[in-house]
């Protein structure tokens, strides 16, 4: 619920910014929640954001996705934020969303879980990882890096790059930029965010390196913490 509030506040701020520039932009939010209790809390959220059209879906995201794609006007720009509760899903199940024209995607990549699973030999877990990252020789690269004594940053670079390349392949994206959000109280990685776009604003970027750009990571962490504090103050 808190994350939905943060997202809706961001849409409200974006709408106000456009309006100040002389353009009245319609903002819509499509919120999916499978848990019945959590979904019940969404009942009154639309009334709190009358300047944003809010639609809610009580379902599994993958089941709701075809309906959401139909509900979004074909000519509208869509910004998808994917924050999965479980890392195990088939990336190809998101293909229609990834391939939608006039769209950008930010993906919260659950690296800690996927990193551990990537080295497990159990057939079921290996299959889950292969369905998430179906293309590329990333497993061979990972094995070679391990033989050289890979660090956690080496593993992160291989796995996150591989996932980004898969997003680009399935979604036909020109650019995939990755930024690592740091943990609130330390300079350790919390999660990588991958932004996928065909926009020419990102010309020259195939991947946004985290090495050598600590301020980007720190700013992302600070913005995340401040957004959470601001939302709780206004709740």
Per DSSP bridges, beta strands 189-197 and 103-108 are: antiparallel
Residues 48, 119 within the same domain: no
Residues 6+ apart with CB under 8 A from 224: 181, 184
Which range is least confidently modeled, 39-43, 133-137, 197-201, 214-218? 214-218
Which residues lie closer than 8 Å to 71 by C-beta, 6 or more apart?
A: 30, 55
- Evaluate if residue 215 carries a pLDDT over 70: no
102-118: per-residue pLDDT in tens? 999 999 999 989 999 99
Are residue 157 and residue 213 in the same domain, yes or no? yes
Task: Report pLDDT for 192.
Answer: 77
Instruction: Assess whether 55 and 160 both reside in one domain.
Output: no
What is the chain's mean pLDDT, rounded?
83
Do the domain assignments include residue 196? yes
Residues 102 and 191 in one domain: yes
Domain identity same for 41 and 104: no
Mean pLDDT of 122-136: 97
Examine residue 83 and state whether it is found in any structural domain, yes or no.
no
Residues 10 and 72 placed together within one structural domain of the fold: yes
The reply to whether 84 falls in a domain is: no
> 13-30: per-residue pLDDT in tens?
999 999 999 999 999 999
81 belongs to a structural domain: no
Q: How big, in percent rounded to 5, are the helix, strand and coil portions of the chain?
A: 50, 15, 30
* C-alpha 68, offset from chain centre: 17
Residue from 83, 53, 81, 56 nearest 67 by CA: 56
pTM for the model stands at: 0.78
pLDDT tens for 173-202 read 888 888 887 766 666 665 678 887 766 555
- Structure confidence by residue, pLDDT tens digits, 72-90: 999 999 999 988 888 999 9
100: pLDDT strictly greater than 50: yes
* pLDDT score, position 187: 62
Examine the domain organization and report whether 219 and 139 are in the same domain: yes
CA dihedral 121, 138, 99, 211 (to 10 degrees): 120
* Residues 119 and 67 both lie in one domain: no
Domain hosting 21: range is: 1-76
């Amino acid at each position: 619920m808190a994350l939905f509030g943060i997202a809706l506040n961001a849409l409200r701020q974006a709408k106000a910014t456009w309006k100040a520039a002389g353009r009245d932009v319609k903002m819509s939010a499509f919120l999916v929640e499978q848990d019945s209790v959590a979904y019940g809390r969404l009942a009154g959220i639309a009334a709190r954001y009358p300047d944003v059209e809010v639609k809610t879906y009580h379902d599994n995201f993958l089941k709701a996705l075809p309906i959401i794609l139909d509900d979004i006007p074909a000519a509208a720009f869509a910004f998808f934020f994917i924050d999965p509760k479980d890392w195990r899903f088939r990336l190809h199940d998101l293909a229609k969303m990834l391939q939608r024209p006039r769209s950008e995607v930010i993906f919260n990549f659950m690296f800690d879980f996927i990193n551990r699973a990537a080295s497990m030999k159990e057939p079921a877990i290996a299959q889950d990882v292969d369905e998430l990252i179906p293309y590329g020789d990333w497993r061979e690269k990972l094995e070679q890096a391990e033989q050289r004594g890979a660090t956690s940053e080496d593993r992160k670079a291989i796995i996150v790059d591989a996932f980004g390349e898969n997003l680009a392949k399935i979604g036909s994206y020109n650019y995939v930029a990755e930024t690592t959000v740091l943990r609130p109280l330390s300079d350790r990685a919390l999660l990588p965010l991958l932004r996928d776009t065909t926009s020419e604003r990102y010309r020259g970027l195939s991947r946004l390196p985290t090495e050598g750009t600590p301020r980007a990571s720190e700013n992302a962490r600070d913005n995340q913490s401040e957004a959470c504090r601001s939302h709780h103050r206004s709740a």
